Amino acid sequence: MKTSVISLSHSNIAKSADSGFLQYLKEIQKFPILTPEEEYEHGMKFKDHGDKESAKILVQSHLRLVVKMAGKFKNYGLPITDLVSEGNVGLIQAVKKFDPSKGFRFSTYAMWWIRAQIQEYVLRSWSLVKIGTTVAQKKLFFNLNKIKKRIDCASNRSSLSDENIERIAKDLHVSKKDVIDMDSRLQQSDSSLNAMIGDEEDGNEAMDLLVANQETQEEMAIENQETSRQEFMLRTALATLNEREKDIIMKRQMSESPHTLEDLSQIYNISRERIRQIEANAIDKIKKEVSKMQKSFANASLANSSFA
């Protein structure tokens, strides 16, 4: 198979970008939402027979999902059209990998690919993240605005208080300087999907074009099942541990009130040193598994986008 499905997403999107993003939003409204039965049928046709028309239909019917997810990254000072374009690359990768026989809805599966592609693009576009590549710094980058809203200081566009800086730094395991620098870089004008179409009295916001008369499967998937790629990788990595290793990691690393080595030595009737060794080995296993998945995501993001 060649690149006919890709030409749908990239050449058409490029034309839409030239004529205006609002026109693109109107155009993707024309593609119907698939029923579970239709989605399964098209997914199996592409998986088993390489049916390019079925792949095209799967892509078209989920373009709205990409825009929804791209909108969640609009506060990073990057053009919304670029975010959507990158998300569509992830959507295409999802179609290539999707196996309907496993029982998942395509929207649920595609979210991981769309999010991963957009995240990689955002990370590549921010010089601070290029310099600071630790997991904690990336977590800070993608969660700072969310945390600010939670502690009721998002409306403060000038600076965070010393108390809040210290709190955020402690929560995300980064330095106070990292928090200050990141907050400064994020205080840029946003690309907005709230722009008015038409006059203020009778017009609608751009995002209104994405709202169906009833909640779509894509919206429900985002609301009910969306979690971060990092959480997904952690859960997968934890599944590689045996029961004792997993219990020790959960009690030592993921509990609001972490157990001490002494606590666990009494529970398992072994020495504190042995508990420490088991914990260290389990952490090493998790790191290796996560590293393996990160490489897989990175390779998928850089892979040729054609349906070959």
Over residues 103-149, the pLDDT tens digits come to 888 988 899 899 888 888 887 776 444 445 566 666 777 777 677 77
Separation between Cα atoms, residue 24 and residue 17, nearest integer Å: 7
Mean pLDDT of all residues belonging to the chain: 74
Which of 8-12, 36-40, 139-143 is predicted least confidently? 8-12
Fold type of domain 229-301: Arc Repressor Mutant, subunit A (1.10.10)
Most confidently predicted of 7-16, 26-35, 129-138, 198-207: 26-35
Tens digit of pLDDT for each residue in 71-110?
Answer: 888 777 678 888 999 999 999 999 998 988 888 889 888 9
What burial class does residue 265 get, using C-beta atoms within 10 Å of its C-beta: 0-12 exposed, 13-18 middle, 19+ buried?
Answer: middle
Domain boundaries defined on the chain: 4-125, 127-192, 229-301
Fold type of domain 4-125: Four Helix Bundle (Hemerythrin (Met), subunit A) (1.20.120)
pLDDT band at 273 (very low <50, low <70, confident <90, very high): very high
Distance of CA 101 to the CA centre of its chain: 24
Mean pLDDT, residues 149-167 taken together? 68
Nearest to 72 by CA among 210, 215, 232, 231: 210
pLDDT given for residue 7 in this prediction: 39
